[in-house]
Structure 1
Amino acid sequence: MHASSAMREKYVIAGIGHTAFGKLPGRSTLSLNTEACRGALADAGIGKDAIDAVFVKVPTSAREFMYGQKLAEALGLRPRLGGAWDQGGAANVALIAHAIGAIETGQCDAALICYADTPRSGNRQVYARPRGDDAVYGWFSTAAGYAMILRRHMIEYGTRPEDLAAIAMASRRHGAANPNAQLRIPLSLDQYLASPQQLEPLRRDDCCLVSDGGAAIVVMRADQARSLGVPHPVPILGIGQGQTSGELATRSTLTTTEAVAASSRAFAMAGLAPKDIDVVQIYDCFTIAALMTLEDYGFCPKGQFGAWAAGGRLEIDGDLPMNTSGGLLSETGMPGLQLIIEGVRQMRGSANLQVADARNCLISNQGGTMHTHGTLILGNMHG
């Protein structure tokens, strides 16, 4: 047996919690994290005395020194282990992997993993910052990098706006049915094509929301969850990561991502393949990111996404429902952890738009401009 396969179903997500999403003036990231963590503990049916590790993703728009320790104090905890981590939107999956490693080596027994940010009501300038020496040529904003990636994908594979629309329409349809979503407006193909250009060839509806909010989960061993009487633990089947340090201009390719490495590790650990996945929650900061992730995960061949996704394949009544609570394009742009929470709901059978008889859910997290990637595979809590 491969060493990683022995970890399959040994660990669970025991609890989930989140705040409202959208514009939340007057809230600090500490208060949002605290609210989400309280929700996750209540969902797990445990008190905070069961927690001895706190891992938090660094707030993107409001970085603070020793933020992990400040959060632990706000929670009224003195954990054995904790701190803040930054891999952009991939940090959430990375922190689950760190928590599992820490528990496996006896450093802690149960971990809170959380993230909160306030770019909507606070400072969103981090997303518009200049990008290195190339800023003198107009290289500003996160969108600029993804626009370049999309342009390259169009050149190499003939990708069309209609292909990207399939992703936007699925996320927006599902978000419109989610009472907690920030943007609850469905999107038609004609509306997508009429959407104004933000940074050519990216349209407005290719770009995710800017959102305030917080989210949290509890990770522990499956046997500990049983002994504590956790009511709805969801097993972790596989996890994988990948990253590159290269900036866009220095990369050998712009159309293959670290999703290849991350998913290969996750699938191997889970003993599964793309054909075994019933529902996906894919990081859709921009539609091209989701398109390339699905290609690199092996759901469809490179350059054939449009034909593969046709006919509503990614929608709730399709073959592979994606972002069933709305994703970053509709539920909240607060990156990553909400996708994991929706994956947990799907595996519990409690999602707002529930995929019938779903056994396995794959979740992607991504950071930077295709710099980091995390893949998580969850199993049905009923086995």
Structure 2
Amino acid sequence: MTARIDDWDDALRGCIAITGCATYGIGDAGGQTDLEVCAHAIHGAIADAGLSCDEIDGFMSAGLSSSMWVVKLAEYVGIRPRFSDSTQIGGAAFVAHLQIAAAAIRAGLCSNIVIAYGATPRGGKSVSATSPARAAMDPHPFEDPFRPFNPPTSYALAAMRHMHQYGTTREQLAAVAVSARQWANLNPEAFRKGELSIEDVLGAKQVSSPFTVHDCCLVTDGAGAIVVRAADAASDGPADPVYVLGTAVAHYHRQISCMADLTVTAARETGRSALARAGVSRSEIDVLQLYDAFTINPVLFLEDLGFCEKGEGGAFVADGRIAPGGALPVNTNGGGLSCVHPGMYSMFALIEAVRQLRGACGPRQVTGAEIALVHGNGGVLSAQATTILSKERQ
């Protein structure tokens, strides 16, 4: 008998937990390669979970520098998995991997999975997302003849449409960058710190109208890894487990010229589905980690995930609502705008959510954080993935 989708949702709800996490080389890794920084993060996450490399039988990763990246990385760190996956949907991949990991562990294909990512486009030797070499590997036939400066040009197009259609202002977009910097100033690991005002954002060098450099994510080195286990085994480790209650993934286009509505993303579907699978309402979410490659991203995602109405995202983020001390903490590590962005970001959003739910974030800790929403974005608003994490298995 074929299982119904609802049956699988029930079977996967809360069936896995993140039991270990680590980052390495955030900022400038001093000339190390992507393999080297990844290896450090992987070993750190495995130790945090109280395991050894020999106990890891599942391995998942996605990279920008090799078509067989997951095989190359596993070889480098000495892991021989009996289950592996290298689903590559851009920056949303590592959130999406949680859905696959839950299915694999539930099916008995493996027990202990490492999910990892790292790159060193700033100071090391790896292919960054915006390099000429990367662009040649990933042609956009309907856009390349016009020689856009991607990804900023494509995201700027979405921002301009949102401003035209809903009256979103430059000051409101700048507020996203200012909030991110305020969180980064509380995070010892963040790469970019210091005071940043709305005026600073607006007056900076323009990259692609309406964006200035402060509207655009960093280019840094950095690696992160998490360990995922069956929920029943999660309490065996030394650190508090964080349970994965529900994950959803969707993608509708690759090139932004094929996006049906420049102001609506597939996050509208993934947010609704992830919350339903988790059995959690938006009012129960204590902290959000949203992919902020550009300042328009959190505006769109807050709308599409249902935290405000479509067109109200600009006003929603103004006046410090998502900043430290605000009503809805967003990107508490400083995000891709001020903490870390080595080509793809969602791994670091996951790790920040885990640290918040463990209560391990020091001065940036969100008091009483018990449930987190993490949202990943890939391509040019192309692929979306949402997951709900919790301190408690529900």
**What TM-score, normalized by structure 2, do the two folds share?**
0.92
Question: Which residue number corresponds to residue 303 of structure 2?
Answer: 295
Superposed displacement of residue 82, structure 1: 1.4
1:175-254 pair list within 5 angstroms: 175-226=184-235, 228-254=236-262
Name the SS for the 1:364 alignment partner. strand
Q: Could you report, residue by residue, the CA deviation over 1:47-80 in whole angstroms, capped at 9, with x for unpaired residues?
A: 122210111111x2xx224222222222222110
2:22 pairs with 1:17: yes
Which secondary structure does the structure 2 equivalent of 1:163 belong to?
A: helix
Counterpart in the other structure of 1:102: 104
1:347–1:381 Cα contact (<8 Å) kept = no
One-letter amino acid of the structure 2 residue matched with residue 109 of structure 1: S
Q: Matches of 1:151 and 1:293 in 2, distance apart?
A: 16
Amino acid at match of 2:193: R
Structure 1 counterpart of 2:361, one-letter code: A
Aligned partner of 1:73 in structure 2 is 75
Shift of 1:342: 0.5
Name the CA distance, whole Å, in 2 between partners of 1:357 and 1:123.
Answer: 39
Is the partner of 2:189 in helix, strand or coil? coil
After TM superposition, give the deviation of residue 380 of structure 1 in Å. Answer: 2.0
- Residues 382 and 131 of structure 1: CA distance in aligned 2, closer, same or farther (over 3 Å): closer
User: Do the aligned partners of 2:291 and 2:298 also contact (CA within 8 Å) in 1?
Assistant: yes
Contact 2:58–2:83 under 8 Å retained in 1: yes
Shift of 1:146: 0.4
Residue 155 of structure 1 is matched in structure 2 by 164
Which 4+ residue blocks in structure 1 deviate beyond 3 angstroms? 122-126, 128-131
Q: Tell whether 2:59 aligns with 1:50.
A: no
| AA matched with 1:75 | V
Q: What is the aligned counterpart of 1:172 among 161, 172, 181?
A: 181
Q: Hey, what's the Cα distance between the residues in 2 that align with 1:296 and 1:243?
A: 14
The 2-side partners of 1:5 and 1:330 are apart by: 38
Is the Cα contact below 8 Å between 2:17 and 2:230 reproduced in 1?
Answer: yes
TM-score normalised by L of structure 1:
0.94
Which residue is equivalent to 1:328?
336
Within 2, Cα distance between the matches of 1:123 and 1:39?
A: 21
Mean CA deviation greater in 315-324 or 70-79: 70-79
Give the match for residue 349 of structure 1.
359
Give 1:304-383 correspondences, 5 Å limit: 304-334=312-342, 335-352=345-362, 353-381=364-392
Q: CA deviation digits over 1:184-215, x for unaligned, max 9?
A: 12311221221221111112111000111110
What is the CA–CA distance in structure 2 between the aligned matches of 1:381 and 1:250, rounded to whole Å? 41
User: Aligned-pair distance for 1:136?
Assistant: 2.7
- Give the Å deviation of 1:8: 2.7
Distance 2:282 2:48 in 1: 30
Give aligned-pair identity as a percent. Answer: 37
Query: Are the structure 2 counterparts of residues 154 and 187 from structure 1 closer, same or farther at C-alpha, using a change threshold of 3 Å?
Result: same
Q: Distance in 2 between matches of 1:324 and 1:125?
A: 25
Shift of 1:174: 0.7
1:382 is displaced (CA, Å) by 8.8
Write out per-residue CA displacement over residues 264-286 of structure 1, whole angstroms, 9 at most, x where no aligned residue. Answer: 11000111222211111110000
Code of the residue aligned with 2:32 in structure 1: it is R
The CA distance in 1 between the partners of 2:317 and 2:67, in whole Å, is 44
Q: How many residues align?
A: 379
In the alignment, the residues of structure 2 paired with residue 124 and residue 112 of structure 1 have an alpha-carbon distance, to the nearest angstrom, of: 23
Give ranges in structure 2 of 5+ residues lacking alignment. none
C-alpha distance in 1 between matches for 2:183 and 2:107: 40
Task: Please give the alpha-carbon distance, in whole angstroms, between the structure 1 residues aligned to 2:141 and 2:12.
Answer: 41
Deviations 1:345-373 (A, max 9, x none): 11111113111111211111100001101
Cα distance change, pair 37–257 in 1 and its aligned pair in 2 (3 A): same
SS of the aligned residue for 2:26 comes to: coil
- Residue type at the aligned position of 2:319: G
Calculate the aligned-residue CA RMSD, in Å.
1.8
> Alpha-carbon deviations, 1:235-269, whole Å to 9, x = none?
11221111013522233211100101111110001
Asked if structure 1 preserves the Cα contact closer than 8 Å seen for 2:33 and 2:126, the reply is no
Q: 1:116 to 1:305 in 2, by over 3 A?
A: same
Provide, for residues 127-171 of structure 1, a one-character-per-residue CA deviation record: whole Å limited to 9, x for no partner. Answer: 153743432323232111101111111111111011112211111
